[in-house]
Structure 1
Amino acid sequence: MGGDPTRCVAELEMKTDSCVIDIPSLAQQLRVELSSFKSSTARVVGGAAPPPCIIVDKVGESTRNHDPHEYVPQFVSIGPYHRAAGDHLAGEAIKVKYLGDVLSAAAANSTAPMTLEDYLSELAHLEHSVRRCYVHSFDIPSREFVRMLLLDACYILVRFGDVLTPRTAAPPQPAAAAAAEEVAVANGVVHAGHRVVPTEERRAAADDQQMAVAVVRDVLYLAENQIPFFVVDKVHQLTFLDGETPVLDAIARYAHELLSWTEYSVATPTVVAPPALRPEPANLLHLLHMHFTPTVLASGKVSRGGRSVGRWRTATEYHYAGVTFKRRPLSGNGGARSILDVKVSRRGGALQVPRLSIDGETWRLLRNLMALEQSNPSAAGSHVTAYCVFMSQLACTARDVELLSRRGVIVHGLGNDGEVAGLFANLCKGAVFDFDEADQNYLRPVCQVLDRRFRSRPRRWMASLRQKYFLNPWLTAGLVAATIGLVCTVIQAVYSVLSYVKPGS
């Protein structure tokens, strides 16, 4: 397809709603919106979408009733679920500008770039596959649905896909440094060096900060605010016809740097050695979810036997049973790869838990990862849900949070330990989870070891004795003195009895 768009008329019947899309008319509408921006023309590469395996669903009412704001975009709408509110979100207006940026990038990197009609036509071919990725059907005409896909894909590519920076004339930053800088901004950190920052520049930096945080929150973290990844990949292919820069590399690098910075994960699930198949995410939240696969599941060593388990005990109860909590550092070399890599000693005396750094977005990320698993139990598993259930019961009181904070397992900047405990206690409201199902609960063997220790009365008595007497040096000294006195008294009594029974001996 190509040529003069004012003379070329292409009609495409879509199976989903038996509607005809007037491609040139839709392209002209977008060109009007692009009138204030520079844009170029381009040409098309075909391709089919992969069958959906991860579906996008609405979060259940029993879950979202606790805090609905954790699942609703506040800045930018992506996909059909919140499209009705898109016109009222600040991020919607910039999507058209990003479409112009993508078209400009296509023109700069090809002598025969794709036309806007080509982009729309290719996405129209994918419409049926895209609609299958959502649980609900949408009464959105094909014309508007395809327009939405194109604008949302361009938004994602410009924000996270390195569409502009790697191919500009200016020397680019190293990939890791550039991603780390964006992650720093997204987490509220602005590096201004040792110079004085003017007031206007400081205000602009604060605005950029807030926007970066809002974009990461809405586009990466929200289960309902997603489009299939193959749509983003298709638009990227049309933009860079050489095929030498897979979009997954850029977005996965951003995700890896983001999760490393926030100390949630250091895993690199998209990097595999040949001939292994490279894992492809279903959407951006699923890409983050791929970084949270526990090491025990990645190794295939899942324990299924042993005694049945119930709920977890609190951290204080385990402490009274003699369990010592230790912070397990994140490390790619045989250590913990994510916060899910909880480890227990053979007899249950030490529980190693990766540190959880809690900020304003921690609960949103964990809740939406659980929502992804609840909608896709077979394809996504339930390991994030298992971890959240573990933490929600381990740290459900202020005393538990205070204990775990002292041990370095939890770090938070919220008002007090009671506030954190309340958030933990409500973390898994509405989630469906079977403690005793080995395929759902990867922490079941850990729970079994700790439960045996908790039920052991001699160990609990010894632990109680140590905590009551040996943690206080004065009580320890008194107990030692009393023990020595008791031993001396027993020896004296024995000698007295012997001297009475055997006089003169």
Structure 2
Amino acid sequence: MTISESRSWRRKAIKYVFFVPAKGRQADGSRSSSFDFKAETAAREEEEKMSLLDKISSIPKSDWLINIQEKLDQVPPLEGSSSWLNNCIFRVPENLREIEPKAYIPQVVSIGPYHRGKACLKFMERHKWRLLRHVIERTGHSLELYLEAMAELEEKTRRCYANSTKVSNSREFIEMMLLDACFILELLRVSVKGFIYCGYSWGDPIFTCRGVLPSIQRDLLKLENQLPLFVLDRLFSLTCEADETITVTNLALQFFESVGCEKIDHSLAHANEPGLHFLHVVRQSLLPSPKATFGCAPIMIDHQAQLMMHCVSSLKDSGVKFRKKKSEKFMDIEFKNGFLYIPPLVIHDSTKAIFLNLMVFEQCYPHCSNHVTSYISFMDGLINCPRDVGHLRFQGIIDHGLGSEEEVAGLFNKLCKEIAFDINDCYLSGVSAEVNKYFDRRWHTWRATLKHEYFSNPWAILSLLAAILLIFLTLAQTFYTVLAYHFPS
């Protein structure tokens, strides 16, 4: 660049800075309040927007609109009688299934359409036919009577499943309903009245073979392996004896008592809310008493967020004491005057699978509370290590048949994985807030430390008393020495 060109560019720059008001300075030389970078950015965004609109406008509108309209036509209308709101038997979400797949998949028998036809479950299918023939012979009713009763409930039954397309054929679906319902009802009858009374032999491969019946019980409490309760009620009315007054719900509660579901509340057999299926019935029987849930679900007003719970070891150091509460409901947790009262919980090999299926049901079904999830989340906060489990076991709160306390701690720490939990809707939020409030008071921690360090055994108490006496004597000697110095005799 020559000297003349350099001077020309310099003059242009000076003119741009000092004499152009719209480019950063006003006409009087003061700076503009809005620098032109913003205007340039807005202009650039406007150009990009116009460019995008030009691209969209260049697409043939007829083909585009037809494509979108076809997609809209494929969306089914939301009708109250046939929508997803009526679903109560769900597929387990993949993110939950991947963590513990065996907890949700039946191992012995398939109930409903989700696992029907699997090779590993075909062994029990022939026994379903055998039990159906036994029922027809015992009752004397025709097969057509049972098929007609099931056919009347087909559409209502299909709406209970989130996805029943696997058994799309109507005849196959009705056949499945009859076989599964008959199989379940015979299991319930035999468990209450005995297989001899029900007409089965000592060598029956289902009712007398060890290990088969417990496995069937576990399969019947899996979310994907359910049959609507109204189907069982309808078939039970056709197969029960004339003088029988017991209900299917009563039979189910007695049937599942041996699976590790704690002491089941049979009064819920007459509850106002009808059971949907076996998993729902068992969940209803395990819910805490109305006193423990007063003011909580389903009302969402005045809820307190459930704060993160401290573990047992930390709470012990702050002075919180754990005591076993005398209650048949293991969810009836209470905190009062520094004592956390927790009902006993017995943990079996099947406890993990039952809790997982109950929690997934609460995740998928919108018309129920999250009490089971809240309880598991609360216990997960209390238990961080085997030492926490050991203290709860020493207090009689936890009793388990697993290999070690470490397995119990791992069980609770894994149960809430991938579970969406609303802390604003929890029946234990008040208990958590009271415990944390007690924990935050330093006086409780100091008192607990003093008691632990100096009052844990008799020798420590004697040492402390001796130290206090020595201090008192030293102070007395000092006092008399000073007194004798100022007031000599």
Aligned AA (1:289): R
With over 3 angstroms needed to count, the CA separation of the structure-2 counterparts of 1:100 and 1:163, relative to structure 1, is farther
Aligned position for 1:368:
357
Q: Note if 1:118 corresponds to 2:109.
A: no
With over 3 angstroms needed to count, the CA separation of the structure-2 counterparts of 1:82 and 1:496, relative to structure 1, is same
Aligned position for 1:237:
237
Aligned position for 1:384:
372
Aligned AA (1:492): Q
Partner of 1:496, secondary structure, is: helix
With over 3 angstroms needed to count, the CA separation of the structure-2 counterparts of 1:468 and 1:357, relative to structure 1, is same
Q: Note if 1:154 corresponds to 2:155.
A: no
1:458 pairs, out of 443, 459, 467, with 443
Distance 1:93 1:225 in 2: 18
Tell me by how many angstroms 1:149 deviates. 0.5
Aligned position for 2:44:
none
Distance 2:191 2:449 in 1: 61
Q: Where has structure 1 moved over 6 Å in runs of 4 or more?
A: 201-207
Tell me by how many angstroms 1:475 deviates. 2.5
Tell me by how many angstroms 1:380 deviates. 2.3
1:285-330 per-residue CA deviation (whole Å, 9 max, x = no partner) reads 111011112114677344965865421111111111111111123x
Please tell me whether the aligned partners of residues 223 and 372 of structure 1 are also in contact (alpha carbons under 8 angstroms): yes
1:357 pairs, out of 346, 371, 396, with 346
With over 3 angstroms needed to count, the CA separation of the structure-2 counterparts of 1:256 and 1:147, relative to structure 1, is closer
More helix by share: 2
1:147-171 per-residue CA deviation (whole Å, 9 max, x = no partner) reads 1000000011000145994998x69
Q: Note if 1:289 corresponds to 2:283.
A: yes
Question: What is the TM-score with the length of structure 1 in the denominator?
Answer: 0.72
Tell me by how many angstroms 1:381 deviates. 0.9
Partner of 1:91, secondary structure, is: helix
Aligned position for 1:186:
none
Please tell me whether the aligned partners of residues 374 and 432 of structure 1 are also in contact (alpha carbons under 8 angstroms): yes
Please tell me whether the aligned partners of residues 267 and 292 of structure 1 are also in contact (alpha carbons under 8 angstroms): yes
Aligned position for 2:12:
none
Distance 2:467 2:246 in 1: 73
With over 3 angstroms needed to count, the CA separation of the structure-2 counterparts of 1:419 and 1:299, relative to structure 1, is closer
Please tell me whether the aligned partners of residues 256 and 268 of structure 1 are also in contact (alpha carbons under 8 angstroms): no
Distance 1:245 1:306 in 2: 42
Distance 1:166 1:242 in 2: 18
Please tell me whether the aligned partners of residues 313 and 393 of structure 1 are also in contact (alpha carbons under 8 angstroms): yes
Aligned position for 2:3:
none
With over 3 angstroms needed to count, the CA separation of the structure-2 counterparts of 1:101 and 1:87, relative to structure 1, is farther
- Indicate the percent of aligned positions where both proteins have the same amino acid: 32
Aligned position for 1:178:
none
Aligned position for 1:328:
325
1:467 pairs, out of 435, 452, 458, with 452
1:70 pairs, out of 85, 100, 103, with 103
Question: What is the TM-score with the length of structure 2 in the denominator?
Answer: 0.74
Structure 2: stretches of 5+ with no match in the other structure: 1-83
Structure 1: stretches of 5+ with no match in the other structure: 1-50, 108-112, 173-200, 330-335
Count, aligned residues: 401
Aligned AA (2:343): P
Partner of 1:344, secondary structure, is: strand
Aligned position for 1:218:
219
Tell me by how many angstroms 1:258 deviates. 3.6
Distance 2:371 2:129 in 1: 38
Tell me by how many angstroms 1:138 deviates. 1.2
Partner of 2:346, secondary structure, is: strand
Please tell me whether the aligned partners of residues 77 and 86 of structure 1 are also in contact (alpha carbons under 8 angstroms): no
RMSD between aligned alpha carbons?
A: 3.2
Aligned position for 1:133:
160
Please tell me whether the aligned partners of residues 232 and 248 of structure 2 are also in contact (alpha carbons under 8 angstroms): no
Partner of 1:208, secondary structure, is: coil
With over 3 angstroms needed to count, the CA separation of the structure-2 counterparts of 1:471 and 1:361, relative to structure 1, is same
Tell me by how many angstroms 1:414 deviates. 2.2
1:211-267 per-residue CA deviation (whole Å, 9 max, x = no partner) reads 111111111x211100100011111122248585353254245157447xx472342
Aligned AA (1:341): D
Aligned AA (2:134): D
Distance 1:313 1:433 in 2: 18
Q: Note if 1:402 corresponds to 2:390.
A: yes
If asked which structure has higher relative contact order (CA below 8 Å, sep 6+), I would say 1
Please tell me whether the aligned partners of residues 340 and 387 of structure 1 are also in contact (alpha carbons under 8 angstroms): yes
Aligned position for 2:475:
490
With over 3 angstroms needed to count, the CA separation of the structure-2 counterparts of 1:484 and 1:249, relative to structure 1, is same
Please tell me whether the aligned partners of residues 190 and 198 of structure 2 are also in contact (alpha carbons under 8 angstroms): no
Please tell me whether the aligned partners of residues 76 and 86 of structure 1 are also in contact (alpha carbons under 8 angstroms): no
Higher mean Cα deviation, 398-407 or 492-501?
A: 492-501
Q: Note if 1:300 corresponds to 2:294.
A: yes
Distance 2:357 2:306 in 1: 26
With over 3 angstroms needed to count, the CA separation of the structure-2 counterparts of 1:299 and 1:410, relative to structure 1, is closer
Distance 1:413 1:153 in 2: 33
1:104 pairs, out of 137, 157, 164, with 137
Please tell me whether the aligned partners of residues 294 and 337 of structure 1 are also in contact (alpha carbons under 8 angstroms): no
Distance 1:495 1:487 in 2: 12
1:336-361 per-residue CA deviation (whole Å, 9 max, x = no partner) reads 2311111211x3x1111112211111
Please tell me whether the aligned partners of residues 151 and 174 of structure 2 are also in contact (alpha carbons under 8 angstroms): yes
